[in-house]
Chains A and B, each alone.
Chain A
Amino acid sequence: MRSVLFAILVGLVGAALLHIVIVLALPQFTGKDAYSRVLGLYEMDSFFALGNEPGTTGLANEDPFLRVAVCGFSVSSGPARFLAKGSVPFWSLSIYDADSNEIFSMNDHTAVNGNLDLVMATPIQLVDLRKTPPESLAQSIMVEMPDEEGYAVLRALAPTDSFQEPARNFLAESSCEPFRR
């Protein structure tokens, strides 16, 4: 009887260890995390506007008033530049790394002239850009990217049906491209 209790006790200790191991290891192998889903769209270096129904990747416009576009990007070969302009009542952008940690977020009130113009670059690329600033980046916000890969989420607000068209156009005309001098 005592040995059965001892076995259960050992089992409970093992359960606690297993609990900790699963929680810590889960982000590495779910395959359902937001970055894997963004990569599953097979659309690198351009904003992909999501539909209202979850597609094969399970990403969709969840909020009925917010239209969402995502873009997977990499700064390994050069900085990435994000551009968007248009007349929507509100837009916002978040940049996440491959582990879905927020690196940077902004909205139209924190942008220059209300237009999105953002450059993500590695620390070395940033030094290079600041030493000889290209003319076209005079108005750009430059942000350091700790990792090489990540994804961007751009949201445009359509409070009523008449704003659906501008919001769609705003996302369709936004760009997420490697920056070349």
Chain B
Amino acid sequence: MFRIPLLVALALCVAFGVGIVSTVSALKATVGFGAIALGPWVAFPDAQTANTDPYAKAHRARAGKLLYGGAEGLQFTASIDSDGQKLSSGCSYDITGVTPPARFWTLYATNANDQPMKTDPALPGAINAWTVLRQPDSSFIIHVSPVAEPDNWLAVRRIGAFKLVLTLLDTPTAGSSGLIDLAMPKIVKTGCPDA
């Protein structure tokens, strides 16, 4: 007697459950299509424009961030290291290499939800193109670690997974199509010190 209503209820449950879960997970998983990935670094040069895809529009409406315009800069985010493993703040990493041409760059860490990591203000929680110490060939090595390191140290707190954000300001990278040739710094795990 209740067969038909039960089947209708089942269909509705599947529709709403799968529909909502798939949408939320899709919007959480990525900013949209049109990503450029250079090693572990990912950027979305068109995410702020009108001709981006509907996923990017929905994502930016949910996140509510002030995005960078084309002439302002391009923001790269890394949530994995160069070996493809998730970044964990229990471990130390070395960021080595050079950035693509840009007038300026900044590097800082965020938590897994893209909120800036609150490090102790006395510790170096961010590094930029002026404050970084360079090798003679102008490349650099930045030690990302929860414990103090000599030379360039980017302090992180032990909060589990985290992301690194590298912002290139006034860069031709944003409008260039030959992105594959551009070199981004590598992120290499150097060890996981005990807590």
Contact = CB atoms under 8 A, between A and B. Distances in A.
Indicate, yes or no, whether A interacts with B.
Answer: yes
B125 A23 contact: no
Contacts of B38: none
Main secondary structure of the interface of A (DSSP, over half): mixed
Contacts of A17: 15, 19
Interface residues of B, number: 54
B69 interface: yes
B126 to A, nearest CB: 4
Interface string B13-57: 111111110110011000000000000000000001110001101
Given A14-B12, A14-B19, A109-B170, A100 B61 contact: yes
Interface residues of A, number: 58
Nearest to A151: B66
Interface in B57-98: 57-58, 60-73
A157 B73 CA distance: 12
Contact of B16 (A18, A24, A26, A30): A18
B8 interface: yes
A8 B14 contact: yes
B7 A100 contact: no
Interface stretch (B101-109, B133-141, B145-153, B186-194): B101-109
Contact of B61 (A33, A63, A159): A33
B29 to A, nearest CB: 13
A141 B125 CA distance: 38
Contacts of A65: 106, 126, 128
B14 A14 contact: yes
B72 A94 contact: yes
A26 B12 contact: no
Contacts of A60: 116
Contact of A100 (B20, B48, B70, B108): B48
A59 to B, nearest CB: 7
A3 B11 CA distance: 11
B12 A11 contact: yes
A110 B170 CA distance: 10
A4 interface: yes
B156 interface: no
B23 A23 contact: yes
7 contacts: A8-B10, A22-B20, A33-B62, A62-B65, A62-B116, A92-B69, A92-B72
Interface of B: 3, 7-8, 10-20, 22-23, 26-27, 48-50, 54-55, 57-58, 60-73, 103-104, 106, 108, 116, 125-126, 128-131, 165, 167, 169-170
Interface of A: 3-4, 6-8, 10-19, 22-24, 26-27, 30, 32-34, 36-37, 58-60, 62-66, 68, 70, 89-90, 92-96, 99-102, 104-107, 109-110, 153, 155, 157, 159-160
